[in-house]
Amino acid sequence: MDHFYFSPSGITDSTMTPNYHQFNEINCINIQDNDKILLGGFSYASGIPKYSIARFRINPPLSIPETISRTKNVSIFPSSFKDVITFRSENSIIQRLSIWDINGKCVLSKSLSDKSCTLYTDLAKGVYLCKIVTAKGVEVHKLISTGRNN
């Protein structure tokens, strides 16, 4: 794991020990290629806030080795859903759908061979990433569930 600390003025700060990996407040999460996740937020040393950036290696990997499509061929509706979500492609067969929570856990995976699919879910409220594999490539979409509270 790489961990970097910055003073309030934006200068790299080496006064915090490398073993100090606690975030008091996380305000940035970014999933990167090569199975890494980047977190940014505030850590405190002796009551002084330091902006901290940490890069973690994810195992099992979250990365998608296939070529990610630059254009979206699959429509998803509604844009935020409670328990029903529909996927539709006008020009390509949907081969596989997988939905991942913000912690990198696959919460739903389904093999298909159709241009459309309606899923009935009981996902908790939150943001999810959806990987859709078609003959034209792989697409990643953000989904918002307004479903159950826990």
98 and 138 co-located in one domain: yes
82 and 123 co-located in one domain: yes
52 and 80 co-located in one domain: no
Is 64 inside a domain boundary? no
Is 68 inside a domain boundary? no
33 and 85 co-located in one domain: no
Which pLDDT belongs to residue 109? Answer: 92
82 and 35 co-located in one domain: no
Which pLDDT belongs to residue 64? Answer: 45
8 and 38 co-located in one domain: yes
- Give CA angle at 138 (134, 144), nearest 5°: 105
Q: Which residues contact 16 (CB under 8 A, 6 or more apart)?
A: 5, 43, 45, 50, 52
Which pLDDT belongs to residue 60? Answer: 54
Taking a C-beta distance cutoff of 8 angstroms, is the pair 81, 144 a contact?
Answer: yes
Is 150 inside a domain boundary? no
Residue 99 lies in domain: 74-145
79 and 40 co-located in one domain: no
Structure tokens, 92: 């390509």
- In order along the chain (150 residues), what is the average pLDDT of each group of 10 residues? 53 51 69 68 72 67 50 84 91 92 88 93 90 87 83
Which pLDDT belongs to residue 5? Answer: 52
Is 25 inside a domain boundary? yes
Domain count, the chain: 2
Is 69 inside a domain boundary? no
Is 22 inside a domain boundary? yes
| CATH number for 90 | 2.60.40.1220
43 and 81 co-located in one domain: no
C-alpha torsion 88→90→93→96, nearest 10: -30
44 and 96 co-located in one domain: no
78 and 133 co-located in one domain: yes
